């Protein structure tokens, strides 16, 4: 059996090596390392894939979120509602811009923003909602967009883990996650479902004025070179990463199918076990399995991880410390109590999930997980 990795970007690369290597060499030969043709081509293809009107590429997913929030003219002290149960980037940029992150609970089935908690968190200072499509499953966007419309709030989707996921609205309309809110953000960090071989990010919107503004912000606040209309930043997707992403975007749907088939294998092995809750898939979302995450009950999680590690099976806790307990937010004042988030944080475990898992590896993983839990 091949060694098992949490994420296997190397073997995925080997399958497209010829194409990728020649695309990279084309960029080297062109010497257009910044904003070369691959960047324009990728921006266009991605825009079409997501089904947004406008796509702005940038340096990484964290910048995408920051540029989105800068474009909305939020003022220091304005409140931004986000889940605590997410990667730190989502909430860090809120604080970086001197806005106030307001942490809310997630739903225990989808790991995404809880709608009642969202409604209760709204105050006169609330300006935006940042739902996170965690692990590759969409948040309840019907409800979130309704709440946002009722209170005149912006919605910025953090789509870093869910690129390619389909959201089905209650009227039957289907859209890609990232194209639903006022702005959608994503990341091309190598381990993401559409991963570059370095950093990268993108922002989506259907609003022309916002698109123009975000493009300017990502480029030192200029439209015309050396004429800077607003304070921006320097955030670019480089040509080599765009060339790689152009190729990988063509494979994204088959990568998603490979992840879904690995998840099916895991589900079959675990679904009936009373100590294991397998990932739930809501009617409104497809699941693109950025992570395959279980909720354990009555299982010593540390001992399970150690047992798996001994068998050379990696596993991870995403994330060991939720936002509301991070030291970086200590200065926000009043401590927040999020019982559901704490409960999940103690019980989740993510198993290896990527496009290169084969049946031997999956059998070996499931057998060992069950052997430990049933002992
Ligand atoms: C990866 C990730 C980001 C940040 O993306 P980077 O490209 O690493 O900056 C933001 N939010 C979530 C949920 C992520 O998983």
Residue 265's Cα: distance from chain center in Å?
23
88 CA from centroid of ligand 1 (Å): 8
Is the CB of residue 98 less than 8 Å from the CB of residue 92? Answer: no
What pLDDT, in 10s, does the model give residues 32-76? 999 999 999 999 999 999 999 999 999 999 999 999 999 999 999
Å from CA of 239 to ligand 1 middle: 21
301 and 190 co-located in one domain: no
pLDDT at 288 exceeding the cut of 80: yes
- 243 lies in the same domain as 302: no
- List CB contacts of 9: < 8 A, sequence separation 6 or more: 190, 191, 195, 197, 354
E strands within 90-211?
Answer: 100-104, 126-129, 154-158, 166-168, 174-176, 183-187, 201-205
Q: CA torsion 17→18→24→30, rounded to 10°?
A: 180
Atom 3, ligand 1: residue with shortest CA distance: 61
Contact 185, 201 (CB under 8 A): yes
* Ligand 1 centroid, distance to 99 Cα (angstroms): 19
Q: Which of 215, 230, 226, 242 is nearest to 67 (CA)?
A: 215
pLDDT in tens, 118-149: 999 999 999 999 999 999 999 999 999 999 99
Average pLDDT score over residue span 285-307 = 98
Q: Do 72 and 127 meet the contact criterion of CB atoms below 8 Å apart?
A: yes
* Total count of domains within the chain: 2
Whether residue 239 is found in the same domain as residue 313: no
Give pLDDT, residue 322: 95
The candidate with the shortest Cα–Cα distance to 240, out of 24, 14, 1, is 24
Distance from C-alpha of 266 to C-alpha of 273, rounded to nearest angstrom = 12
C-alpha to C-alpha distance for 308 and 365, rounded to whole angstroms: 8
Do residue 316 and residue 214 come from a single domain? Answer: no
> In a mutational test of the pocket of ligand 1, which residue from 57, 64, 68, 89 has the highest number of ligand atoms less than 8 Å from its CB?
89
Alpha-carbon torsion, ordered 69, 190, 320, 90, to 10 deg: 0
Structural domain including 171 reads 9-249
CATH number of residue 107's parent domain: 3.40.640.10
The verdict on 210 and 296 lying in the same domain is no
Residues 200 and 97 in one domain: yes
Q: What spacing in Å lies between the alpha carbon of 61 and ligand 1's midpoint?
A: 5
One domain for residues 239 and 297: no
pLDDT at 159 over 80: yes
Q: Are 123 and 110 within 8 A, CB to CB?
A: no
pLDDT of residue 331: 83
Which pLDDT does position 246 carry in this prediction? Answer: 98
CA proximity to 190, closest of 232, 239, 135, 248: 248
Final residue before a domain boundary, out of 233, 249, 265: 249
For residues 190 and 211, state if they share a domain: yes
> What pLDDT score was predicted for residue 336?
86
The CA 186 to ligand 1 mean position distance, Å, reads 7
Write out the H or E segment, with its range, that includes residue 79.
strand 79-83
Distance 167 CA to ligand 1 centre (A): 20
pLDDT tens digits, one per residue of 317-349: 999 999 999 999 988 776 789 999 999 999 999
- Count other C-beta atoms under 10 Å from residue 339's C-beta: 8
Q: Whose CA is nearest to atom 14 of ligand 1?
A: 160
Domain presence at residue 177: yes
* 4 domain-assigned: no
Query: What pLDDT does 294 receive?
Result: 98
Q: CA–CA separation, 96 vs 329, rounded Å?
A: 11
Q: Which of the listed residues 58, 67, 86, 90 should we mutate to test ligand 1's pocket, taking the one with most ligand atoms within 8 A of CB?
A: 90
Region for 221 from its dihedrals, namely left if φ exceeds 0, alpha if ψ lies in -120 to 50, beta otherwise: left
- Quick one: 226 and 307 in the same domain? no
Residue 84 placed within a domain:
yes
For residue 293, the surrounding DSSP H or E stretch is strand 292-296
**What pLDDT is recorded for position 239?**
98
Q: What is the pTM of this model?
A: 0.97
Among 134, 177, 189, 236, name the best residue to mutate to test ligand 1's pocket (greatest count of ligand atoms within 8 A of Cβ): 189
β-strands 154-158, 183-187 pairing: parallel
3-state DSSP: the chain helix, strand, coil percent, rounded to 5?
45, 15, 40
- The C-alpha atoms of residue 216 and residue 200 are separated, in whole angstroms, by 17
271: Cα separation from own chain's centroid? 25
Residues 38, 149 share a domain:
yes
């Amino acid at each position: 059996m091949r060694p098992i990795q949490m994420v296997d970007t190397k073997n995925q690369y080997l399958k497209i090596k010829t194409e990728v290597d020649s695309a990279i060499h084309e960029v080297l030969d062109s010497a257009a390392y910044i904003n070369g043709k691959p960047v324009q081509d990728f921006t266009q293809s991605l825009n079409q894939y997501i089904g947004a009107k406008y796509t702005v590429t940038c340096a990484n997913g964290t910048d995408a979120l920051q540029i989105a929030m800068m474009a909305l003219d939020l003022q220091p002290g304005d409140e931004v509602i986000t889940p605590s149960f997410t990667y730190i980037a989502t909430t860090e940029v809120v604080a970086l811009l001197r806005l106030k992150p307001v942490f809310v609970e997630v739903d225990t089935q989808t790991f995404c923003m809880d709608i009642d908690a969202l409604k209760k968190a709204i105050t006169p200072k609330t300006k935006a909602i940042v739902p996170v499509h965690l692990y590759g499953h969409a948040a309840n966007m019907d409800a979130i967009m309704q709440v946002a419309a009722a209170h005149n709030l912006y919605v910025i989707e953090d789509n870093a883990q869910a690129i390619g996921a389909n959201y089905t609205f209650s009227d039957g309309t289907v859209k890609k996650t990232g194209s639903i809110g006022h702005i959608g953000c994503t990341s091309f960090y190598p381990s993401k479902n559409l991963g570059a071989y370095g950093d990268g990010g993108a922002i989506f919107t259907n609003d022309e004025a916002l698109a123009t503004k975000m493009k300017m912000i990502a480029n030192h606040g200029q439209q015309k070179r050396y004429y800077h209309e607003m304070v921006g930043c320097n955030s670019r997707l480089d040509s080599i990463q765009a060339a790689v992403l152009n190729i990988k975007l063509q494979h994204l749907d088959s990568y998603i199918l490979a992840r879904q088939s690995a998840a099916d294998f895991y589900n079959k092995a675990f679904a009936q076990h009373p100590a294991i809750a397998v990932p739930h898939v809501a009617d409104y979302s497809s699941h693109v399995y950025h992570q395959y995450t279980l909720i354990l009950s009555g299982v010593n999680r540390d001992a399970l991880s150690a047992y798996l590690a001994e068998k050379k099976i990696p596993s991870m806790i995403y994330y060991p410390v939720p936002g509301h307990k991070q030291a970086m937010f200590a200065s926000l004042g009043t401590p927040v109590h999020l019982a559901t988030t704490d409960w999940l944080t103690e019980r989740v475990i993510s198993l290896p999930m990527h496009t290169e898992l084969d049946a031997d590896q999956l059998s070996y993983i499931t057998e060992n997980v069950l052997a430990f839990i049933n002992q």
